[in-house]
Structure 1
Amino acid sequence: MTLSMQWLTMAAMLLSGLGMGTVFDGYRVVSNELKFPRWWLPVLDVVYWMAAALVVFRVLYVSNNGEVRAYVFIGLATGVILYYLFLSKLVIVIIKWLIRAVRNVIALVLKCLDILIVKPLLLLYKLIIVILGFGSALTIFLFKIVIQLVRPFWRLLVWMVRPILRPIGRRLMPYLTKWQVKEKLAKLGLLIARFWSKWLRR
């Protein structure tokens, strides 16, 4: 392996160390800000180190065909140390700012949705309820008026038809008595009267 390739591999490992430190700080800040359950942290740690190992090995394979030498670990450790000495605080501040920015954007979007969609739908729902209530009340009122207007004509019709129905009633009386039609009609009339009295009280 040439000297230039060794320096290239060492530089790649140094950048990998910087990347590992950045990703670790990002994962730590995000887990604290989002308040992940404590039992998730060991699992996430294992996932982080497995992903970091795969990425470092991939970079090493591209740079020197996967040969592991001492300068590989020196470059990786140097990158991690330089990151935590000079970049860690800045990266943490940037990540926290990004999290706040994302939260503010989400809050703004939710507020816009509430103003533009949710509140108009609620207002439309209340308006429909009011219209249906007014319509039902008006219908009941008109129905009561119609019943009151029809009642005199109904009484007149009964008075006119009564002489015709009397002979028929006399012939049917034995059957009506046998089938207890009169008692059943009386019960039905009582139920209708109760329902009608309740209806008029509304």
Structure 2
Amino acid sequence: MSLTVQFYTMLSMVAFGLFIGATLDTYRRFLKTKPSFHWLTAIYDLLFWIIQGALLFYILFIVNKGEVRFYVFLAILCGFAAYQALLKKGYNYLLELVIRAIIGIYHFIKQLLTIILIKPIKFILKLFYSLCMMVITTLFTILLFILKMVWKLISWVLNVILTITRLNKITDKMIIRLKIKVKKIKGFLTKRGKK
């Protein structure tokens, strides 16, 4: 391995140490692990470190064809220590700013969509419902009016026919008899109910 390759390896491993520090803080910020053991947290931790290891070997493969030397780990440790000493506070502050900005943008877009899309759609649907109910009520009223007119016409024609044929006297007698029978049935049922 040439000196140039070793130099690039050292620089990339120091940068990777800085990267590990930043990603570790980001991971902790989003996961907010509890002190007690939890299976899901253990799985997340394992996945996090597997991804970090895969990235490390990918970078090593690009820089020096995947050769692992002792100074590689020292360079990563130096980069991580430099991050902890110099960049941690600034990065965490910047991370919080970015998170707040993303949350603010999300709320802004949500309110904008509510004002531009959801409220007008609700208004249109309510208006459509009101119009439909108005049309249905109007049609129902017209239908009732037509049925009343038809019924009046039919009853008038029947009265004329009954008057001409003099069947109205028979029907009047039948109606009177029917009323008497209904009264008798009511009286019988009320006597039965009292017993």
Q: How many residues align?
A: 163
Alignment of 1:98-177 (within 5 A): 98-162=98-162
- Measured after TM superposition, the shift of residue 14 of structure 1 is 0.8
- Measured after TM superposition, the shift of residue 59 of structure 1 is 1.7
- What corresponds to 2:93 in structure 1? 93
- What corresponds to 2:193 in structure 1? none
- What corresponds to 1:83 in structure 2? 83
- Measured after TM superposition, the shift of residue 5 of structure 1 is 2.6
Structure 1 17/145 Cα, relative in aligned 2: closer, same or farther at 3 Å? same
- What corresponds to 1:30 in structure 2? 30
- What corresponds to 1:182 in structure 2? none
Q: Give the whole-Å Cα distance in 2 for the aligned partners of 1:118 and 1:148.
A: 44
Whether 1:59 and 2:59 are equivalent positions in the alignment is yes
Q: Give the whole-Å Cα distance in 1 for the aligned partners of 2:144 and 2:5.
A: 100
Q: State the TM-score, normalized to the length of structure 2.
A: 0.72
Identity, % of aligned positions = 25
Q: Give the whole-Å Cα distance in 2 for the aligned partners of 1:29 and 1:21.
A: 12
- Measured after TM superposition, the shift of residue 50 of structure 1 is 0.8
Counterpart code for 2:123 = L
Which digits, 9 at most, give the CA deviation of each residue in 1:86-140, with x for residues without a partner?
1111111111111111111111111111111111111112212222222233233
What are the ranges of 5 or more consecutive residues in structure 1 without an aligned counterpart?
Answer: 168-202
Structure 1 141/64 Cα, relative in aligned 2: closer, same or farther at 3 Å? closer
SS in 2 for 1:68: coil
Q: Give the whole-Å Cα distance in 2 for the aligned partners of 1:19 and 1:165.
A: 109
Q: State the TM-score, normalized to the length of structure 1.
A: 0.70
Q: Give the whole-Å Cα distance in 1 for the aligned partners of 2:150 and 2:94.
A: 82
- What corresponds to 1:14 in structure 2? 14
- Measured after TM superposition, the shift of residue 48 of structure 1 is 1.3
- Measured after TM superposition, the shift of residue 166 of structure 1 is 9.4
- Measured after TM superposition, the shift of residue 159 of structure 1 is 3.3
Q: Give the whole-Å Cα distance in 2 for the aligned partners of 1:165 and 1:80.
A: 115
Structure 1 60/156 Cα, relative in aligned 2: closer, same or farther at 3 Å? closer
Q: Give the whole-Å Cα distance in 1 for the aligned partners of 2:42 and 2:165.
A: 95
Structure 1 150/4 Cα, relative in aligned 2: closer, same or farther at 3 Å? closer
- My pick for the range that moved more, 147-156 or 81-90, is 147-156
- What corresponds to 1:4 in structure 2? 4
Which digits, 9 at most, give the CA deviation of each residue in 1:4-43, with x for residues without a partner?
332221111111111111111111112239xxxx543221
